[in-house]
Amino acid sequence: MPSPPNDALIVLDIGKTNVKLALVDAAGRLLAEARRPNAILHDGPYPHHDTDGIWTWMLATCRSFAGQARVTAIVPVTHGATAALVDDAGLVLPVLDYEADLPGLDYATLRPPFAQTYSPPLPVGLNLGRQLAWLQHRHPAQFARARQILMYPQYWAWRLCGVAAGEATSLGCHTDLWDPLRQDYSALVPRMGWQAQLPPLAPPWATLGMLRADVASATGLSPACEVLCGIHDSNASLVRYLGPAAAATPRTVLSTGTWVIAAAFGAGLDGLVEGADMLANTNALGQPVACMRFMGGREFSLLAGAHPVTCSWGELERLVARGTLALPGFADGGPFAGRAGRVDGPAAADASERFALATLYCVLMTDYCLDALGALGDITVEGSFTANPWFGPLLASLRPQAVAYSDDASGTTCGGWLLRYRDATPLGAGQPMPARAPDGFNAYRAAWRAALSRSSQPTATKHAPVATAVRPRSGLGLGDQTAP
């Protein structure tokens, strides 16, 4: 049987909620896609990722893709705040879930100052340095046995080709491990003695090697298929904006999924506030980018409920007219970490109104973050919120900048593709969002912000007063890419 004629690559996209494989041809056309939930397992020493389940599923899915195109490369793209400890045989400890509690460690005395890392102190394991210090403290023998500390995209690259590498976008996303101004490791690394376990750095587009022979056999892919170093998912969403022309123009990119991350090209780092989940990420070119974030997809899911139903415009109008306000926060992290989320005013009456309330909440939180960040230039929304018909028009009604929806529904697939085809022009130019707002929406925003200033008391307990926690589902403005 002759080989399929068209060249393509596979993007392995591991978000916090879902794992996706996308087969994309050299022209940027999506040929095939498959996804599965990203399960957290509780059968080991701590909550951890199902790496074996992902691996088995990935091999089988790659085999199904192999007959559809000549796959010449695989690009790993994953959420942040995650690392793997490996020796020559594989994992020496399960890959820790960043939402796990990490008791018994005074990490505050270890971490470098914000002025060095631009990495804010975050709850649970969202600072990767805390995870590594905790693992070293709780499991010293296994930690010492690890030959490599691999960021999560590079762990999958290592499994595919056997070559270990480090990479700055994953090292530089609120890990405490990275100095974004120097583009080098922070003082935490030598303080903890981790230098020898961190592999040499490579750019995200670097070819680390070819598929291992057993992987090629299991997938049906060519042994000449290259494995790229890979990239942090929110930074994958920024790759299309890093060309010379784009970089010269201030703009803001909203990477949306489990996390909503506002990345403001052209905004300085001096305005970043340590206690507001503001940070400097490092982009694929090794440049610091001012960012602010909140767990928007997770909070949308909690507010919208277990069976989301897309609302009508009339339901948005009714909630605004009634003055029903959802006030942060409903998940860990974000500028209001430590506050318990609540709903003021008449409760949403049904699933459609809950969807409307969740949409209004995410719009107002995004608008708040953009103001705090000093975001400049046009705003492009990447990722799963582009499936929400009202998020963009509502946001556009509040902002002085133009707002557009990206044509890339995941935000990360295009970025992974561009790592292979770096001189290519992505398909599509995005869809401008016309501003549209219910009557009284500016007053509604003012009431929401006034309620924030009255709600200053922190609490360690998070709760969702209108819904139970559910896993976000794609197509409803939820989703899973950008994690950290």
The distance from CA 413 to its chain's CA centroid, rounded to whole angstroms, is 13
Distance between CA atoms of residues 406 and 415, nearest Å: 12
Residue 401, helix vs strand vs coil: coil
pLDDT in tens, 17-72: 999 999 999 999 999 999 999 999 999 999 999 999 999 999 999 999 999 999 99
Q: What proportion of the chain, given as a percentage, has pLDDT over 70?
A: 91
Q: Which residue is associated with the tokens 């996303």?
A: 173
Residue 476, helix vs strand vs coil: coil
Give the model's pLDDT for residue 320: 98
End-to-end CA distance of the chain: give it in Å, rounded: 43
H or E element at residue 114: helix 114-117
pLDDT tops 80 at residue 234: yes
Segment 454-475 shows an average pLDDT of: 39
Give the model's pLDDT for residue 428: 67
Q: How many other CB atoms are found less than 10 A from the CB of residue 136?
A: 18
Helix boundaries (H) for 119-179: 128-138, 140-145, 152-161, 168-171
Give the model's pLDDT for residue 476: 33
Give the model's pLDDT for residue 208: 98
Which positions ≥6 away from 153 have C-beta within 8 Å?
A: 76, 77, 78, 167, 170, 204, 229, 230, 231, 232
Q: What proportion of the chain, given as a percentage, has pLDDT over 90?
A: 83
What is the band of 429 on the pLDDT scale with cuts at 50, 70, 90?
low
What b-and-e string marks burial along 342-366, b requiring 16 or more CB atoms within 10 Å of the CB? Answer: bbeeeebeebbbbbbbbbbbbbbbb
Segment 294-312 shows an average pLDDT of: 95
| Nearest Cα residue to 262 out of 285, 238, 239, 244 | 238
pLDDT tops 70 at residue 404: yes
Which positions ≥6 away from 388 have C-beta within 8 Å?
A: 310, 359, 476, 477
Distance between CA atoms of residues 150 and 235, nearest Å: 18
Task: Assess if CATH 1.10.1740.10 describes domain 237-454.
Answer: no
CA distances to 24, 149, 356, 364 from 452, in Å: 44, 41, 20, 11
What is the band of 467 on the pLDDT scale with cuts at 50, 70, 90?
very low
Residue 426, helix vs strand vs coil: coil
What is the band of 125 on the pLDDT scale with cuts at 50, 70, 90?
very high
Q: Where are the domains of the chain?
A: 7-233, 237-454
Computed over every residue of the chain, the mean pLDDT equals: 91
Record the tokens describing residue 345, joined without a space.
Answer: 């005013």
Instruction: Assess contact for 196 and 137: CB atoms under 8 A.
Output: no
CATH number for 7-233: choose from 2.60.120.590, 3.90.76.10, 3.40.50.12160, 3.30.420.40: 3.30.420.40
pLDDT tops 70 at residue 143: yes
Distance between CA atoms of residues 173 and 255, nearest Å: 14
What is the band of 465 on the pLDDT scale with cuts at 50, 70, 90?
very low
For 194-234, the DSSP string reads: -GGGSPPB--TT-EEEEPPHHHHHHH---TT-EEE--EEHH
312: buried, middle or exposed (CB in 10 Å: 19+, 13-18, 0-12)?
middle
Q: Which of 4-8, 116-120, 331-335, 363-367 has the lowest mean pLDDT?
A: 4-8
Angle subtended by helix axes 351-373 and 391-398, to nearest 10: 40
Largest CA distance in the chain: 70
Give the model's pLDDT for residue 245: 60
Q: Which residue is associated with the tokens 């499936």?
A: 387
Give the model's pLDDT for residue 248: 67
7-233 matches 237-454 in fold = yes
Angle subtended by helix axes 313-322 and 351-373, to nearest 10: 70
Distance between CA atoms of residues 125 and 121, nearest Å: 10
Segment 109-119 shows an average pLDDT of: 97
pLDDT in tens, 315-364: 999 999 999 999 999 998 899 988 999 999 999 999 999 999 999 999 99
pLDDT in tens, 145-186: 999 999 999 999 999 999 999 999 999 999 999 999 999 999
Q: Which residue is associated with the tokens 């912000």?
A: 449
Which positions ≥6 away from 371 have C-beta within 8 Å?
A: none
The distance from CA 445 to its chain's CA centroid, rounded to whole angstroms, is 27
pLDDT in tens, 236-264: 989 988 876 655 688 999 999 899 999 99
Distance between CA atoms of residues 441 and 447, nearest Å: 10
Instruction: Assess contact for 416 and 75: CB atoms under 8 A.
Output: yes
Record the tokens describing residue 336, joined without a space.
Answer: 């209001």
